[in-house]
Structure 1
Amino acid sequence: MKRNKIIYSLFIGLMMLMIGSCDSIVDEQYLENSTDVAGVELVAKQNDAKGNLIELSMNTPGVTGYWDYNLGKALTNKVEIVYPIPGTSTFTFTGTLGAEFFEKTIDVTIDVLDTPLEQDWYDLVSEATSAGKTWVFDGGPASDGRLWWFMSDPNNAWAVWWNAAGDCCPPADAAGKMKFDLDGAANYSYYSGPDATPVKGSFVLDVENQTLTLTGASLLGSMDGGGNAGVFRIMELTEDKMVLFVPDAAWATGWTWIFRPE
């Protein structure tokens, strides 16, 4: 009997040891804010003339994030941009304080465009950037056998699968026009016909990635073809010609647009 008690005591001790060894030791760590939103310092540097070469910086240690300067994003705390729009613009820094995300803005006033823009801007909106530039289809408005609005290979903007406008079926807005200007903002106006009331929108020209994004209004021909997502690849942009393309238009094809200045 005594032997059984000893074995029982050893068994209980062993079980207690096993249970104790199964208890995990958790070192709980919590993220903490290094500062508050008010403590985040945003700085914009320009020359004395308030020109359009701007250095945007977030100077608070322990905070990370990115800049949204309306025409693009910079995944860094500091970025230098040549901004094409005179007047007062608002730039946004999005980041983390440590335990939470935040957004903070800074206003910058540009009085003069004393730093030249990249050529694509002038080609799109003209050198009179506030007055802007109007574009129309490079053909039509009736079918004329030319290439100006056509179904293309998804991998090749110039490989014609069906010359829609040239052969038989131009878009309903083939006689329309569209205007791009930088009068206080990146403004886009769509006209379904020569005398139509404009539909107002905005645009983003990404020179580095060669894309044109439209918001709030359609591109000419996009309602009847592809491109309703509003993002177009720039295949060619000169003072006299603009060629846009989407690889994923209607019916799993590509679609190509060719425009000229009005």
Structure 2
Amino acid sequence: MKKYFFLFILPLCWLAACDPKEDREDMPRPAYTSKDLQYSITQQAGYDNRVMLENKTPGVIPYWDYIVGVSNRQKDTIVLPFAGDFFIKFYAYTKGGPVVDSTKITVTNNDPNYFHNPAWNFLTDGVAGRTWVWAADVPTGFCFGNGSGAATTPEWWQVPASQLGDAVADEMHFDLDGAYNYTITHNGVTTKGLFSLDTTAMSLKITGADIPKGNGVTYNIVKLNDNELTIVQQGDGWRDLWLFKRKGYNY
């Protein structure tokens, strides 16, 4: 009976030894306030998107919140892709609990290295933003529908602008003004969301909203230039297609 008892209790002891709570119990309990925290936040000269973080407060576990990400490293280098004013929060975790302070920094421009792929500019026109509407006058006559797995225009189910109903006047707007901003305007009501663009896979994901007559999925982009945007939902041997154009462009 004792044999089985010790086989059971030893793993529990091992787990207790690895419990991070015990590590926190070993930490000192300094009476820190935000004024006592020592840390540095330094932007690189000539490229202020690049920011160096360093904890200089002894006996604490650091945690950084820099809006687009987090870090728990003593020293770290991060890149902020957007221009604007940002507050970087520094949390110092002690046995007595967390203490927080924040520092405001200003980033001059959107990061040209991060947004170097032309797809970013085609889709958003950067900070200025770009508005897309249905390609109602596309030469094929159909701006919505579906087709075979490699179709670039609707083949099977073909919908002209005249059959889009109240969606015909929908507008999408993408911009990089401080975030990956997306809005859709339908029947005079604007819904805000965010988007993510994978320039390697050429995929587009929207959260908090959707494209006109969308299916709420991650879409593939099969055409994107200064004037045209074709989005598809890829299936096995089929795809749904949405054909848009830059607002103000005529075929």
**TM-score under structure 1 length normalisation:** 0.60
Counterpart in the other structure of 1:15: none
1:247 is aligned to 2:241: no
Distance 1:79 1:137, change over 3 A: farther
Other-structure match for 2:242: 257
2:50 to 49, 54, 58: 54
| Higher gyration radius (CA) | 1
> Does the 8 Å CA contact 2:142/2:161 hold for their aligned counterparts?
no
Distance 1:243 1:106, change over 3 A: farther
- Asked if residue 24 in structure 1 is aligned to residue 23 in structure 2, the reply is no
Cα separation, 1, equivalents of 2:63 and 2:77? 12
Aligned partner of 1:101 in structure 2 is: none
TM-aligned CA distance change 1:92 to 1:158, over 3 Å:
farther
> Over aligned residues, Cα RMSD in angstroms?
4.7
Q: Distance in 1 between matches of 2:104 and 2:220?
A: 31
Which of the numbers 148, 151, 158 marks the counterpart of 2:143? 148
User: What amino acid sits opposite 1:148 in the alignment?
Assistant: C
Distance 2:39 2:88 in 1: 10
5+ residue gaps, structure 2, are: 28-33, 95-100
The CA deviation at 1:219 is 1.0
* 1:124-203 correspondence to structure 2 within 5 Å: 124-126=123-125, 129-139=126-136, 145-153=140-148, 155-156=149-150, 158=152, 160=154, 162-166=156-160, 169-170=163-164, 172-192=166-186, 196-203=188-195
Unaligned runs of 5+ in 1: 1-18, 98-103
Residues 247 and 184 of structure 1, relative CA distance in 2, 3 Å threshold: same
- Corresponding position of 2:196: 204
Question: Quick one: distance in 2 between partners of 1:234 and 1:75?
Answer: 33
Tell me which protein shows more strand as a share of its residues. Answer: 2
User: 1:59, CA displacement in angstroms?
Assistant: 7.1
| Structure 1 residues 66 and 89: alpha-carbon distance in aligned structure 2, compared to 1, 3 A threshold | closer
Structure 1: how far apart are the matches of 2:88 and 2:222?
29
Aligned twin of 1:5: none
Question: Across the two proteins, how many residue pairs are aligned to each other?
Answer: 218
Match of 1:233 among 191, 213, 220: 220
- Offset, 1:205: 2.4
1:10 aligns with none
1:188 aligned counterpart, secondary structure: strand
Number of the residue aligned with 1:8: none
Hey, what's the Cα distance between the residues in 2 that align with 1:156 and 1:56? 46
Displacement, 1:138? 1.8
Deviation (angstroms), 1:74? 9.5
Deviation at 1:210, TM superposition (A): 2.6
Cα separation, 1, equivalents of 2:179 and 2:152: 33
- TM norm structure 2: 0.62
In structure 2, distance between residues paired with 1:107 and 1:158: 47
Q: Are the structure 2 counterparts of residues 261 and 149 from structure 1 closer, same or farther at C-alpha, using a change threshold of 3 Å?
A: same
What secondary structure is seen at the aligned counterpart in 2 of 1:21? Answer: helix
**1:140, 1:174 within 8 Å by CA — same for their partners in 2?**
no
3-state SS, counterpart of residue 167 of structure 2: coil
Distance 2:152 2:147 in 1: 7
Of stretches 181-190 and 144-153 in structure 1, the one that deviates more from structure 2 is 144-153
Distance 1:133 1:207 in 2: 17
Contact 1:42–1:106 (CA under 8 A) maintained in structure 2:
no
